A = this chain, B = another copy of it.
Amino acid sequence: MSVSTKDALSSFKETIHKLKSYEEALGVLYWDLRTGAPRKGMDTRSEVIGALSGDMFKLATSPELGEWLTVLEQNAAYAELNEIEQRLVSETRKEYDRSVKIPPKLYQEYVIISSQAESKWEEAKADNDFAGFQPYLEKVISYTNQFIDLWGAKATRYDTLLDQYEPGMTVKELDRVFGGLREQLVPLAAAIAASPHQPDTSFLRQQYDKSAQKAFSLYILKQMGFSFDAGRLDESVHPFATGLNPGDVRITTRYLEDDVLSALFGTIHEGGHALYEQNIMPELIGTTLCTGTSMGIHESQSRFWENMIGRSRPFWERNFGELQKQFPGQLDAVSVDQFYRANNVVQPSLIRIEADELTYNLHIIIRYEIEKLIFNEGAKAADLPAIWNEKYRQYLGIAPPNNAEGVLQDVHWSGGSFGYFPSYSLGNMYAAQIADTMEKELDGFWSLVGQGDLLPIKEWLTERIYKYGKLRTPSELIQSVTGKPLDPQHLVSYLTNKYSEVYKL
C-alpha cells in the first residue's frame, strides 16, 4: 500500500517532533545527573535513560520512517517541500541510513565493549598502564572499522568518521588546513618560548572567594546577552552546555578557589555555546534541526567568546575594574596590561585540556594525524605510544615522561569517538575567520567590546549563524558569512598579531 505525499509528510513531521521530545527529555535527565542527582538513585535512573533511549532508537529506525522518507525524496514531492522540510528530510535520511546499517546485535556488543573500554581507560590512566588498556583499544578500533565497512568508506576510511561530527569535512580539506597551521604555529610557539618577555602570572594564584567568582561570572554572562529567562548557570565537575530548547539552555561551571580565571573562562566558553542555542529561529523549535550545525561550528562560538572576546585587551579594559571590586585588595597592585598579558600565556605542555590558545591546535593536529594512521594506514594500538611521543617531541618540543600524561590522557578513543578531535581546532579556525569578517563589517567592533556593549556582536552572529540552527551546513555557513571557504590563515594571523604584542616578538 503506497502512502500519499501529504500523509507521509504529516507522519514524518510527527515522528520528528516526537524524536525531538524524547531528546529533550533525555537532555533534562542528563543535566540532572550531572548537577546534583542523589548518588543512590543513579542505577535506577540509568535504566530509565536506557528505556527512553531504546524507544527513541526504535522510532528513529522504524521501517515506516524509511517509507515516508522514500516518498518525500521523490523529485515531485521533494520540490514541493519548503526549505526546512527539505533539510529535515536530508538530515533524517543521513541519520536513518547510518543507524539501520548497523545490525542491532553488533551495536549492542559495541555498546558493552566501549563501556568496558571506558572503565578500563580510567584505571589504565590512573595506573599508567597502557598494556592493560591496549586490548580494549584494539577492540574499539576493530568495531569502528566494522562500522566503516557497513556505512561505506568515503574518499578515505577516516573521512567516514569525520563526517559524523563535521558533516562534509574531509581528510583532503583537513590536510590542507592543518598542514598550513602546523607549519606556521610550530615556529611561532618556538619564538614565544624564546622570548625574554614572559608575563607575570603570580597574582592569578590566590584564594578567590567562590561567591564573588560566581557574581563576576554572572555579570559577564549578562554582558554577553545570555538570557536568564531562557537559561541558567549551575555547577558540575566538568563544565558543559546543553540546549534543551531555545527557551531553556543550561550551562555549568566549576569554581576553583585558588584560580580566578578557570571558572570565568569556563563560563564564557559554555556561554558561547549557549548563545548559539538560545538564538535559533522559532520555526525550527520541535524539529531535529533545532541545534548547532556541527561540533566545529559550535566550538567556534565557545572559542570566539572565550578567546577572541574574553582574552582581548578591550574586554579587560572594560571589565578589570569590576573584577578588582569583586576581590577587594587582591588585585589592586595589578595593571590591566599585566592582567591581560597573564591571560595570554603560551607554554608548550603535555595535557590538551590545559593548553593555551596557540599550542592547543598542535595537540589536535597530533591526534588527527594519529587517527588517520589508525584508519587509513592500519597503525596498530601497540604502536601508538611511540608515535604519540615522537610527535609531541617534534611539534611541541617536549615528550611525555609516561603514557598517563601522553597517549592515555583523553577519554575519546576509549568511547570510540574517533574523528571528534579535529572539531576543536576547526572551531578555532572558524572563529578567527568569522572574527576577521566581523571586524570589517561591524562598525566599531573593538570599541563595542571596550564599552561592554556586546549585544550588537551577539545580534550579528545571530543573523548570520545562530538563527539557522542545522538548516545550513558548516561549509555553507562559513562561505555565506565570510565569503570564502575555511582558510587557516585567519587563525595564524590572529595568533601571530596577538602574541607578537604580548611577547614583544
| A interface residue numbers (CB < 8 A to B) | 17-18, 21-22, 24-25, 28-29, 32, 36-45, 47-48, 50-52, 55, 227-232, 244-250, 285-286
Contacts and interface: CB of A to CB of B under 8 A. Distances in A.
A52 B21 contact: yes
B285 A38 contact: no
16 contacts: A21-B47, A24-B44, A25-B29, A25-B52, A28-B29, A28-B32, A38-B228, A38-B248, A40-B230, A40-B247, A40-B248, A41-B230, A41-B245, A44-B245, A44-B285, A45-B244
A247 B41 contact: yes
A127 B37 CA distance: 41
Contacts of A250: 38
A55 B51 CA distance: 12
A232 B38 contact: yes
A230 to B, nearest CB: 4
A45 B22 CA distance: 11
A247 B38 contact: yes
Contacts of A38: 228-232, 247-250
Nearest to A231: B38
Contact of A24 (B22, B40, B45): B45
Contact of A44 (B42, B47, B248): B248
A244 B41 contact: yes
Given A24-B45, A45-B248, A229 B29 contact: no
Nearest to A52: B25
Given A28-B28, A43-B247, 19 more contacts: A17-B51, A18-B51, A21-B47, A21-B48, A24-B48, A25-B52, A28-B29, A28-B32, A32-B32, A37-B248, A38-B230, A39-B229, A40-B247, A41-B246, A41-B248, A44-B245, A44-B285, A45-B244, A47-B286
Nearest to A33: B28
A248 B228 CA distance: 28
A72 to B, nearest CB: 22
A244 B248 CA distance: 22
Q: Which 7 A-B pairs have the closest CB atoms?
A: A41-B248, A40-B247, A41-B247, A21-B51, A44-B245, A40-B230, A21-B48
